[in-house]
Structure 1
């Protein structure tokens, strides 16, 4: 298992540059559509249910249930759960990295520490490179990927990676 983590970390270090949505995205309004919403401003919790779609600039998050945790109207954490289908996250990245796409039964995005956690049936694609496993943690600040497979799962508990060849001329 340690070897798989090391391979994923090294591969990510080789292919990843700064993983950030476009700088302007964080200054854009957030749009949310859902079948229902329960918002408790005093506690800083908003729960959206039913085919939820949340966008901010070029960043998109979907799920069956999306919970937003905020403090002083600043989002601290967003958790998207997929019940009928997987939760999905995408962002257009700077420096010609294209779109980052991520799936999982649960996506937990902690803004405070700049980490995206993909839980159960996790998959992350960046510029054609693909990581799949049972659990993937993506640390945006440190540009690290940690992935683990599911013991006894279809892949025998292993993490799967596809790394595209360099496109330099």
Structure 2
């Protein structure tokens, strides 16, 4: 989406620098697609309250909600789960929390990908992705990606971040060298 960034008055040198930074952030996750075996595992849920409407294909869980499926873990205070009406397969999940969180171990990786935001949308159908809203953080190891909105395409291993309508807010990226002996800090996620 270079044209959007250019329309906001960001120069091409800054755009190129941001793209290089993004590629460097994702380099350690180059095979960062989700584990196929996770999708074959049962979905397990725990919450304080549940409302399930099989006719509409939606269920709502409230109170310290935890969803797990293999290495996938999504948490929040309120979770709406939508199923495809014809197959009853998981379509998407909308989570709200303080914050809502996501964690999954990508195929072939030793470090989990984590995300947190006050509002999260997880899409299982189409390109598998997470949309983090209202102040988002996505990280793997010490490498972090922060913005008002962050979209992580799990299958394509791509990240898109936006600063929001307030031009004074910006996205922030922290990337540590992937070298032996390079100092890595705990970002306090």
Q: Which residue pairs with 2:21 in the alignment? A: 11
Q: Which residue pairs with 1:122 in the alignment? A: 136
Q: 1:126 to 1:52 in 2, by over 3 A?
A: same
1:23 aligns with 2:23: no
TM superposition outliers: structure 1 runs of 4+ over 6 Å? none
Q: Which residue pairs with 2:179 in the alignment? A: 167
Q: 1:22 to 1:44 in 2, by over 3 A?
A: same
1:9 to partner: Cα distance? 4.6
Instruction: With the length of structure 1 as denominator, give the TM-score of the two structures.
Output: 0.87
Structure 2 stretches lacking a partner, 5+ long: 182-189
Instruction: With the length of structure 2 as denominator, give the TM-score of the two structures.
Output: 0.78
Q: Whose strand proportion is higher, 1 or 2?
A: 1
Q: Greater RCO between the two (CA within 8 Å, min separation 6)?
A: 1
1:40 aligns with 2:50: no
Aligned length: 165
Give the CA RMSD over aligned residues. Answer: 2.2
Q: 1:9 to 1:138 in 2, by over 3 A?
A: farther
Structure 1 stretches lacking a partner, 5+ long: none
1:110 aligns with 2:120: no
Does structure 2 retain, via aligned residues, the 8 Å contact 1:97–1:127? no
Q: 1:7 to 1:37 in 2, by over 3 A?
A: farther
Q: Whose helix proportion is higher, 1 or 2?
A: 2
Does structure 1 retain, via aligned residues, the 8 Å contact 2:79–2:94? yes
Does structure 2 retain, via aligned residues, the 8 Å contact 1:129–1:161? yes
Rg (Cα) greater in structure: 2
